[in-house]
Amino acid sequence: MATPLTASRLLKALRDEGLDVVEVRSWRTHNRNHKGPWGPVHGVMIHHTVTKGTASSVDICYDGYSSLPGPLCHGVIAKDGTVHLVGNGRANHAGLGDDDVLRAVINETGLPPDNESNTDGNRHFYGFECINLGDGRDPWPAAQLEAIEKASAAICRAHGWTEKSVIGHLEWQPGKIDPKGFTMGSMRTRIGKRLDAAPDGPSDTPKPPAKYEPFPGAAFFRAGRESAIITAMGKRLVAEGCGRYEVGPGPEWSEADRKSYAAWQRKLGYAGDDADGIPGKTSWDRLRVPNV
């Protein structure tokens, strides 16, 4: 039996393994503990998000949906290998799975087929959602795979587990396919090799906190306006899958910018006049346009 790591110990374990970690909002106290127990913990579960775009994926995993409230995991692993912590405690990620699989994880033996859904996994597993469409075509960058390896190893190291305590969602719950695009067997081999060596240790030069452009006001976005902020905004819209550009984006506010921003507003759930393509503060803050 293992007592769950505190927020501070989890953060330290991940950073000591050499990961870049972002603390998202009130992640340290964000959990579903009022719905059931958290712990004892027995393993780490890996998922894919079926989304694209870092900011929107992190927001979804933090907030959840009306039918499935967040947090939907403990950490979101981005394409660039950054780990975004969104919860600490019970999270809606594992659901019901196979009790035989749980026993194999506890005993660190070979995994049986997952053919039952009779055991609460949210209680017993740390969960990492990895940003990927899960269609078998969306690539898994080397930095992201290394971060999955490191994050899993960090938790195993903290608890004294081996790589056999790391499973995929597809190995836990019948009908699940995630993660798709690499095998959990190959990932466990990587984790095992990492656990045989010393952790990388935290970076000597930690990254400064990300800084984003403050909302310049709706009147800023008008025909004839030229600004590097508009270019940066356009690049973020493209990264979020909302770009409607034939050429660009560029520094001059255009109809393509308006259509792209309207697509972002619709992605956030806005409709009608609220998705007119003119930025508002709430949608702008969620887009996280880097300082220029």
Q: Would residue 103 count as lying in a domain?
A: yes
- Domain C-terminal end among 132, 164, 195: 195
The domain that holds 90 is classified in CATH as 3.40.80.10
Q: What is the pTM of this model?
A: 0.74
Q: Would residue 200 count as lying in a domain?
A: no
Give pLDDT tens digits for 236-290. Answer: 999 999 999 998 899 999 999 999 999 999 999 999 999 999 999 999 999 999 8
- Domain C-terminal end among 147, 162, 195: 195
Kindly state whether residues 188 and 229 are assigned to the same domain: no
Kindly state whether residues 145 and 14 are assigned to the same domain: yes
Kindly state whether residues 104 and 15 are assigned to the same domain: yes
Domains contained in the chain, number:
2
Task: Tell whether the model's pLDDT for residue 146 goes beyond 90.
Answer: yes
Distance from first CA to last CA of the chain, Å, rounded? 50
**Spatial separation of the C-alpha atoms in residues 24 and 16, rounded to whole Å:** 19
Q: Would residue 207 count as lying in a domain?
A: no
Q: Would residue 157 count as lying in a domain?
A: yes
The reported pLDDT for the residue numbered 211 is 81
Q: Would residue 211 count as lying in a domain?
A: no
Kindly state whether residues 264 and 141 are assigned to the same domain: no
Task: Tell whether the model's pLDDT for residue 206 goes beyond 80.
Answer: no
Stronger pLDDT, 145 or 56, i.e. the higher one:
145
Q: Would residue 210 count as lying in a domain?
A: no
The reported pLDDT for the residue numbered 210 is 62
Q: Would residue 231 count as lying in a domain?
A: yes
Which H, E and C letters describe 29-67, residue by residue? HCCCHHHCCCCCECEEEEEECCCCCHHHHHHHHHHECCC
- Section 40-52 average pLDDT: 97
**Spatial separation of the C-alpha atoms in residues 187 and 191, rounded to whole Å:** 6
Kindly state whether residues 78 and 116 are assigned to the same domain: yes
Q: Would residue 158 count as lying in a domain?
A: yes
Q: Is 129 helix (H, G, I), strand (E, B) or coil?
A: strand
Task: Tell whether the model's pLDDT for residue 180 goes beyond 90.
Answer: yes
Which helix (H) or strand (E) element contains residue 222? none
The sign of the dihedral angle between the CA atoms of 99, 105, 109, 113 is positive
Cβ contact 84:78 at 8 Å: yes
- Section 123-132 average pLDDT: 98
Task: Tell whether the model's pLDDT for residue 137 goes beyond 60.
Answer: yes
